[in-house]
């Protein structure tokens, strides 16, 4: 592979992995077609299908212009399968993974890789980003307007249910998303209004033993964990996104509100994120800060990472998912030789998480 894969090539790549590893892999068809009538697939890797084992889910390609995230997910699955089948270790730069660790992970855990959540957006981005300022971010569903004033696209990473209603939950002026059609971070008319976010939700529903999730993005150069809604605290459980008493007060730093998270969950998330960061730094000696999302970037609403962790409070209760965001370095889609090195860093982080949760 010497350039970014296009939409068809990504689908073909995971189909080929399933075909060539029939005892380990199954190609999963997602139920919701995109606005441009594309069908998406994920790859399930398991040495004991149907055993109900704890599962790690890797998501990529949510934002259209972040081309390398999908490529990284494909490379990660390919490398892991090859190392397992051949009984070898894996190395990325100076970070080496022992064959025993790779065998142990796939012999005790399941892995699901969904490399291309937003195929319409990727196709449009790869065809048009030379003329689109900063690149296309959203999906390509037609919203409204005529002629040159036609408006397209919803930001998939603002369309998940948790804290989606930012105008009610967040303080004025925090602007974690937009409710204006055509805006780059338009959150859609309702939670899960988009085929792409529905597919992720359905994938998690179908894998009820999911315990860990990584959503690969770029290019902020960090490893993130919950929360993105606000700062994180472990002292006052009543301060949470479900408590309307705190509406219109979320999203500001160093004020009276911070989002509740059990201290043991915060400690575990930090420990795993630091391990991923350390693994990435060994590939090319780049430093990758590991921090809560809100502390690193800006307040977010309706994000996948927050939704995955918050699913534990749904009815009926769902298992807790420790969720992370890898923000790769470089730019949205740097020249391929640069991205190839970044992909090694992403793969090292993902494999380190595999080892850590075994």
pLDDT, mean of each 10-residue run, the chain (358 residues): 92 98 97 98 95 96 97 98 98 97 98 98 90 83 95 98 97 94 97 98 97 96 96 98 97 96 98 97 92 91 98 88 94 92 97 97
pLDDT for 271 equals 98
Q: Is 0.95 surpassed by the pTM of this model? A: yes
Residue carrying structure tokens 């960090």: 222
Kindly state which CATH superfamily the domain 7-356 is placed in.
Zn peptidases (3.40.630.10)
Q: CA 198 → CA 83, 87, 255, 262, 312, distances in Å?
A: 33, 37, 34, 28, 18
Peptide bond into 227 cis (omega under 30): yes
pLDDT for 50 equals 84
pLDDT for 296 equals 85
DSSP H helical ranges for the chain: 7-20, 67-86, 99-108, 119-128, 166-169, 195-206, 263-284, 293-296, 304-310, 336-356
pLDDT for 62 equals 98
Hey, where are the domains in the chain? 7-356
The dihedral built from the CA positions of residue 219, 221, 227 and 228, taken in this order, carries a sign that is: negative
Peptide bond into 316 cis (omega under 30): yes
What's the rounded Cα separation, in Å, for the pair 64 and 137? 5
What's the rounded Cα separation, in Å, for the pair 350 and 358? 13
């Amino acid at each position: 592979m010497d350039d970014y894969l296009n939409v068809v090539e990504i689908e073909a790549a995971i189909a080929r992995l399933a075909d060539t590893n029939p005892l380990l892999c199954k190609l999963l068809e997602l139920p919701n077609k995109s606005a441009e009538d594309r069908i998406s697939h994920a790859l399930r890797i398991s040495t004991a299908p149907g055993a109900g084992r704890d599962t790690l889910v890797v998501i990529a390609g949510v934002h259209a212009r972040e081309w390398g995230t999908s490529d990284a997910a494909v490379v990660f699955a390919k490398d892991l399968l090859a190392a397992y089948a051949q009984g070898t270790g894996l190395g990325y730069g100076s970070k080496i993974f022992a064959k025993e660790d790779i065998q142990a992970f796939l012999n005790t855990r399941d892995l699901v890789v969904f490399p291309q959540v937003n195929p319409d957006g990727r196709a449009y981005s790869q065809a048009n980003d030379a003329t689109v300022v900063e690149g296309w971010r959203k999906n390509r569903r037609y919203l409204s307007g005529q002629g040159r004033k036609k408006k397209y696209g919803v930001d998939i990473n603002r369309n998940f249910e948790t804290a989606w209603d930012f105008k009610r939950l967040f303080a004025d002026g925090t602007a974690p998303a937009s409710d204006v059609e055509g805006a780059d971070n338009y959150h859609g008319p309702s939670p899960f209004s988009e085929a792409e976010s529905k597919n992720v939700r359905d994938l998690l529903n179908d894998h009820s033993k999911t315990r860990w999730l990584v959503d690969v993005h770029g290019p902020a150069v960090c490893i993130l964990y919950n929360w993105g809604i606000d700062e994180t605290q472990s002292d006052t459980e009543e301060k949470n996104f479900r408590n309307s008493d705190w509406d219109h007060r979320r999203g500001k730093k160093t004020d009276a509100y911070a989002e509740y998270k059990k201290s043991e969950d915060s400690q575990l998330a930090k420990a795993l994120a630091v391990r991923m960061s350390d693994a990435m730094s060994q590939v090319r000696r780049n430093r990758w800060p590991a921090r809560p999302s809100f502390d690193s970037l800006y307040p977010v609403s309706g994000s996948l990472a927050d939704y995955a962790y918050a699913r534990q409070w749904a009815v009926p209760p769902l298992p807790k998912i420790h969720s992370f965001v890898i923000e790769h370095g470089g730019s949205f889609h740097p020249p391929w030789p640069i991205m190839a090195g970044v992909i090694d860093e992403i793969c090292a982080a993902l494999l380190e998480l595999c080892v850590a949760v075994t």
